[in-house]
């Protein structure tokens, strides 16, 4: 997924674009570029492979002057990460310049069509066809905006596009087709902003317009219009964003991931705010639009998500089934679409997504919705597609999550599923008011307990010293903590590039135990719950095969230190909330191991924060 920024106004466009791209670099860091129209209508294009710093230095040594421009930071899908394949792409006669996020699925057909007319291509990207196609329409006598519209109508797939033309130095055209990540307009005084995501323009405005699927906008310095692709002018809402620029900055932390791990106690407080009344022992979820009638009509939830959000959904399944007695299946967005799930108007699909823009998740829930399902979402990115298109949603309220490896969104989304389970349990009459009050009360200490886990990083630095050179790790857990083993393994994989597997501990003897020897550390999640003895036996079996065991255990457990090589003690809370506490040591362990290995913790190789292509 790429990051896009556009600007027209009274400031130097390159300044606004580069600061915006800096805030979007988590969306892709294979290459970066910008194009600015200067006096006299000449377009200056600067493009560089690699991280944004390369482009920043290039512009520093060879500045570009102009008050209108577009910029891009890339996550490569078509064409290797190099300067030639970097955006912006310019048409053959330099009359159209384009940046794009997404995939033009019919680009080969369009390319052959254009090549047959003598158009010369210079890159291996799908994007370049957009510039050439628009120029062809333009040179057929159509105006810039109509040429852009005609071009957009020819594109297949999910795409977010911004175009400019040197012959129209007062106009930017942008569009959103499908689920290719957002296009957000930022409204200023005598200036206008375009961005893939809110953090890019938070320094300049809080007045935001979100383009919906199939919408385009023609943007000038003092005005803009939102239309359909056939040119019909459309009504639209202007949102005021509750986030501040500071929340999108690193502050005193070395990395966004470190900051976001440390923010979890506050994130949990923020997600409970306005929803939990500790005195009355009640839960209210205003944006979920839940009624007793709907809660009793729904007989199945399909939780749909990807990556870390999927693992959050696996913990949520335990909460929704055991607390609300609501049958729940958890499905990968990328798989759900391609098998024929049984979905009808008694089904609810619950999308869990930090970014709210993950294409696999969005397309899967849309498909279920077409079959009559009610769509719910638990989402962090304010105003994102998953929030706007839901029948009911729970905003995570954690502020921007910038580190590619998701942390606070994981613990917050589990907390939100706990709230959803309590509310459904209440409305379905399976929970008494007393039981709800008890379960609400268990939340009261959660932020504090999280703080306790996070305030001793020294032990993780020690463990990282011992284990940062190993090439394989195994994470095991049982029951509601099995997904935590999966998440621990994913965190380590993502940021340290160590091969790690998460496994249900009971499955070990059916295969993975063969992997264990003195070179394979085993992280075992061993809380003092009804599966404690079974986990202890897993620890013993791993030890008996020569494995080194790091145990996540609850305070007061006097036995575990005799069983495991290294023990990280965490506070004990209810079995339903223990996974939230248990994952934080795994986040810190991965962070410190990656740090010791010299990895780029916030921008791991080959990854990006929101995956807006299939
Ligand atoms: C997690 O650390 C990863 N960044 C990735 O697995 C992520 O969870 C996944 O892409 C889903 O993203 P979403 O929550 O924004 O939909």
Q: How far apart are CA 564 and CA 602, in angstroms?
A: 31
Distance 483 CA to ligand 1 centre (A): 15
CA angle 260–100–405, rounded 5-degree value: 20
The preferred substitution site among 303, 309, 362 for testing ligand 1, maximizing ligand atoms within 8 Å of CB, is: 309
- DSSP secondary structure code for residue 200 in this structure: G
Average pLDDT over residues 326-335: 97
Atom 16 of ligand 1, residue of closest alpha carbon:
353
Spatial separation of the C-alpha atoms in residues 448 and 457, rounded to whole Å: 16
pLDDT classification of 251: cutoffs 50, 70, 90: confident
Task: Looking at the CA of residue 358, tell me the nearest atom of ligand 1.
Answer: 16
pLDDT reading at 477 higher than 80: yes
The residue-averaged pLDDT of 404-432 equals: 98
Is the per-residue pLDDT at 48 higher than 80?
Answer: yes
Read off the pLDDT of residues 8-30 as tens digits, 9 standing for 90 and up.
Answer: 999 999 999 999 999 888 888 89
Q: Which residues pair with 102 in a beta bridge?
A: 159
Compute the distance between CA of residue 375 and CA of residue 60 in angstroms, rounded to an integer: 48
Residue of the CA atom closest to atom 3 of ligand 1: 405
pLDDT average, residue stretch 30-48? 95
Q: Report pLDDT for 246.
A: 61
What pLDDT digit, counting tens, does each position of 417-429 carry?
999 999 999 999 9
For 361-378, write each residue's pLDDT tens digit. Answer: 999 999 999 999 999 999
* Percent of residues, the chain, with pLDDT higher than 70: 99
The pairing of beta strand 374-379 with beta strand 347-353: parallel
Ligand 1 center to residue 378 CA distance, Å? 13
Mean local confidence (pLDDT), 535-553? 97
Substitution candidate for ligand 1 out of 406, 414, 600 with most atoms within 8 A of CB:
406
pLDDT score at 42: 92
Q: What is the mean pLDDT of residues 516-528?
A: 96
Q: Which atom of ligand 1 is least distant from the CA of 610?
A: 15
CA of 309 to the centre of ligand 1 (A): 6
Check pLDDT > 80 for residue 244: no
Mind listing the pLDDT tens digit for each residue in 479-490?
999 999 999 999
Please state the pTM of the whole predicted model: 0.87
- Active site (annotated) includes residue 493: no
Residue 77: predicted pLDDT: 82
For residues 456-473, average pLDDT:
96
Q: Is 609 a catalytic residue?
A: yes
pLDDT for the residue numbered 337? 84
The alpha carbon of 20 and the centre of ligand 1 are apart by a number of angstroms equal to 22
Q: Which of 423, 491, 575, 609 is catalytic?
A: 609
Atom of ligand 1 nearest to the CA of 609: 4
Per-residue pLDDT tens digits for 280-327: 999 999 999 999 999 999 999 999 999 999 999 999 999 999 999 999
Between 22-31, 37-46, 351-360, the lowest mean confidence (pLDDT) is in 22-31
With beta carbons less than 8 A apart as the criterion, state whether 442 and 470 touch: no
What distance in Å separates the CA atoms of residue 31 and residue 186, rounded to the nearest whole number?
24
CA angle 141, 146, 148 (to 5 degrees): 105
H or E element that contains 348? strand 347-353
Check pLDDT > 70 for residue 334: yes
Q: Which ligand 1 atom minimizes the distance to the CA of 405? A: 2
User: Which one of 305, 407, 611 would you pick to mutate in the ligand 1 pocket, going by the greatest count of ligand atoms within 8 A of its CB?
Assistant: 611
Q: What Rg, from alpha-carbon coordinates, does the chain have? A: 25
Going by alpha carbons, the residue nearest to atom 7 of ligand 1 is 307
The per-residue pLDDT of the chain, averaged, comes to: 95
Nearest Cα neighbor of 416 from 334, 360, 361, 354 is 354
Residue 245: the pLDDT is 62
pLDDT in the model for residue 363: 93
Residue 598 has pLDDT above 80, yes or no: yes
Q: How far is the CA of 385 from the centre of ligand 1 (A)?
A: 15
Q: Whose CA is nearest to atom 9 of ligand 1?
A: 307
Q: What is the pLDDT of residue 462?
A: 97
CA distance 235 to 215: 11
* Pocket residues: Cβ below 6 A from ligand 1: 306-309, 353-355, 358, 361, 404-406, 494, 610-611
Q: If pLDDT is split at 50, 70 and 90, which confidence band does 75 have?
A: confident
The residue annotated as part of the active site, out of 2, 174, 306, 599, is: 2
C-alpha 358/C-alpha 161 separation (Å) is: 17
The Å distance, Cα 44 to ligand 1 centre, comes to 36
CA of 442 to the centre of ligand 1 (A): 28
The pLDDT of residue 248 is above 70: no
């Amino acid at each position: 997924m790429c990051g896009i920024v556009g600007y027209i106004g009274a400031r130097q466009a390159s300044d606004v674009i580069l600061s915006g791209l800096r805030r979007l670099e988590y969306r892709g860091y294979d290459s970066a570029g910008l194009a600015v129209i200067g006096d006299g209508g000449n377009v200056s294009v600067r493009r560089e492979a690699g991280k944004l710093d390369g482009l920043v230095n290039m512009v520093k040594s060879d500045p570009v002057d102009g008050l209108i421009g577009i910029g891009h930071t890339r996550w490569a899908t078509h064409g290797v990460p190099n300067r030639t394949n970097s955006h912006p792409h310019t048409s053959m006669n330099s009359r159209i310049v384009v940046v794009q996020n997404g995939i033009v699925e019919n680009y080969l057909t369009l390319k052959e069509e254009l090549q047959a007319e003598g158009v010369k291509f210079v890159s291996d990207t799908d994007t370049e066809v957009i510039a050439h196609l628009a120029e062809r329409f333009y040179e057929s006598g159509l105006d810039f905006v109509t040429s852009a519209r005609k071009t957009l109508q020819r594109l297949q797939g999910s795409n977010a596009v911004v175009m400019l033309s040197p012959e129209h130095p007062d106009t930017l055209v942008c569009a959103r087709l499908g689920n290719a990540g957002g296009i957000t307009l930022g409204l200023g005084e005598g200036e206008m902003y375009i961005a893939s995501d809110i953090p890019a323009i938070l320094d300049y405005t809080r007045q935001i317009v979100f383009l919906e699927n199939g919408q385009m906008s023609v943007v000038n310095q003092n005005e803009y219009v939102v239309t359909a692709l056939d040119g019909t002018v459309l009504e639209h809402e202007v949102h005021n964003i509750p986030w501040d620029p500071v929340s999108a900055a690193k502050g005193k932390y070395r990395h966004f991931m470190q900051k976001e791990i440390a923010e979890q106690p506050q994130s949990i407080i923020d997600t409970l705010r306005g929803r939990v009344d500790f005195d009355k022992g009640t839960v209210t979820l205003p944006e979920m639009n839940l009624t007793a009638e709907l809660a009793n009509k729904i007989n199945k939830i399909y939780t749909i998500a990807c990556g870390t959000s999927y693992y959050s959904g696996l913990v949520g399944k335990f909460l929704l089934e055991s607390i609300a007695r609501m049958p729940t299946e958890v499905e990968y967005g990328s798989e759900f679409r391609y098998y024929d799930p049984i979905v009808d108007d008694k089904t609810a699909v619950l999308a869990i997504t930090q970014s709210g823009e993950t294409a696999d998740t969005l397309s899967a829930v849309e498909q279920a919705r077409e079959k009559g399902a009610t769509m719910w979402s638990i989402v962090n990115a304010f105003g994102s597609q998953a929030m706007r298109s839901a029948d009911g949603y729970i905003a995570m309220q954690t502020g921007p999550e910038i580190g590619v490896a998701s942390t606070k969104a994981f613990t917050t989304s589990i907390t939100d599923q706990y709230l959803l389970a309590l509310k459904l349990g209440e409305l379905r009459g399976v929970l008494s008011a007393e039981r709800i009050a008890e379960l609400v009360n268990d939340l009261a200490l959660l932020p504090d307990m999280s703080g306790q886990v996070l305030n001793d990083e020294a032990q993780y630095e020690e463990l990282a010293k011992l284990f940062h050179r190993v090439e394989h790790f195994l994470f095991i857990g049982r029951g509601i903590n099995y997904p935590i083993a999966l998440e621990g393994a994913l965190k380590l994989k993502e940021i340290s590039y160590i091969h790690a597997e998460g496994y249900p501990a009971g499955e070990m003897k059916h295969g993975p135990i063969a992997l264990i020897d003195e070179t394979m550390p085993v992280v075992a999640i061993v809380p003092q719950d009804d599966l404690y003895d079974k986990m202890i036996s897993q620890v013993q079996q791993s030890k008996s095969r020569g494995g080194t065991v790091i145990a996540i255990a609850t305070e007061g457990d006097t036995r575990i230190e005799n069983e495991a090589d290294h023990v990280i003690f965490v506070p004990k809370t209810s079995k339903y909330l223990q996974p939230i506490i248990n994952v934080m040591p795994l986040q810190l362990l991965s962070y410190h191991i990656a740090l010791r290995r010299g990895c780029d913790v916030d921008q791991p190789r080959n990854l990006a924060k929101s995956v807006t292509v299939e």
